[in-house]
Every structure is written in C-alpha cells, then in structure tokens.
Structure 1
Amino acid sequence: MPADRTKPSTPTKTKTKAMDRPSDPSSPSKTGWSMGDKALLFEHVIQHGQNDWDKAVPGKTWKQAREQWKKTLLPQIRKQCGFLG
C-alpha cells in the first residue's frame, strides 16, 4: 500500500479587500457625487470645455471629474437630447 502523501502546508497570503481597510471619509475617493457637485461639473464644462478637470469640482480629483462627466453626465445628456453618438 502506498505511503500517505500529503502536501506540506504552505503559508498563503491574504489579500486585503478595499472594504476591509479603514475608510477615510475625508478622502476624495470615498465621497459620493451630490447634485451640487454634478451641477458644478456641468457648469465647468459649459464654461471651459472638457479641459482643466482638476479645477472642475473642489474636493474631487481630475480623474474623478473626468470619469463622472464621461460615464454619467454626458450619456444622460445624449439620451435626453436624442443624440445617438
């Protein structure tokens, strides 16, 4: 009869999930977009075009502002105005 062969136990690394980490409510990435923030972003785009995202909304990063415009506000505008592009 063959000997009982078991794999030696190896330590495994545990991955830390974002929700396991303590959250910092003052962090720009942890705060949601209020209607006022979205209005500021919309006004910024009206006045300055799709430039200077870092100056668009206080407390938000340039990347957050750009993504909010591209992924949320612009598609809503296109849908309501009937644009297909």
Structure 2
Amino acid sequence: MPADRGKTPSTPSKSKSKNKSSSDGPESPSKGVWSSGDKSLLFDHVINFGQTDWEKAVPGKTAQQAREQWKKTLLPQIRRQCGFLG
C-alpha cells in the first residue's frame, strides 16, 4: 500500500496577494502606507494651495488618495495637537 493512499492531493490555497491586471503598470498610483515624506508633501501642498488641486499634491498618488489622507489622517492629527474641537 502506498503511504499517501487516502490523502487528497493538496490544492493551492487562495492567496491574498494582489492580482496584477493590465491596468497595474508602472504609472499606476502607489497603494498602501504613506511615507512621512509623502505626508509632508501633502501638508506643504495644502499650506501653499489650500484644499484644491489634489491631483498635483503628491506625485504617484491620485487626487482621491491625497484628499482622503488629508481629511481622515492629517487634519484630525493637527486638530488634536492644536486643541481645535471643530
């Protein structure tokens, strides 16, 4: 009798890795964690231009990514540190 009789062959598990599609090229916006340099560029952009032209804020990030990072991360941190409630 073979030793592996009765065992089912292992099936490849579904990996959670990102499937690359044809739209994911070298020009696609970076995904994931924002570096402190990226956040600094975003902060400088808002200081100089206000909350507009998000697509020009950080190279390699989309306008939506920049806007969301400002609204959900940086602005709340600034408000907490400065004691602003509004």
Q: TM-score, normalization: structure 1?
A: 0.70
The CA deviation string for residues 36-65 of structure 1, in whole angstroms up to 9 with x for no partner, is 000000000000000000000000000000
Whole-angstrom CA distance in 1 between matches of 2:47 and 2:65: 18
8 Å CA contact 1:41, 1:57 repeated in 2: yes
1:80 alignment counterpart: 81
Deviation at 1:28, TM superposition (A): 1.8
Q: Write the distance in 1 (CA, Å) between the matches of 2:76 and 2:25.
A: 28
In structure 2, distance between residues paired with 1:21 and 1:34: 21
Distance 2:37 2:18 in 1: 29
Higher fraction of helix: 1
The 3-state SS of whatever aligns with 1:28 is coil
Give identity over the alignment, percent.
72
Give the count of matched residue pairs: 68
Q: Give yes or no for contact 1:40–1:57 (8 Å, CA) kept in 2.
A: yes
CA distance in structure 2 between the aligned counterparts of 1:77 and 1:40, rounded to whole angstroms: 15
After superposition, the CA RMSD in angstroms is 2.2
* Structure 1: 5+ residue stretches without partners: 1-18
Q: CA deviation at 1:22?
A: 1.7
Distance in 2 of aligned mates of 1:60 and 1:21 = 18
Of stretches 21-30 and 68-77 in structure 1, the one that deviates more from structure 2 is 21-30
Structure (1 or 2) with the larger CA radius of gyration = 1
Check conservation: 1:25, 1:31, Cα contact below 8 A. no
What does residue range 6-85 of structure 1 map to in structure 2 within 5 Å? 19=16, 21-23=18-20, 26=26, 27-85=28-86
TM-score, length basis structure 2: 0.69
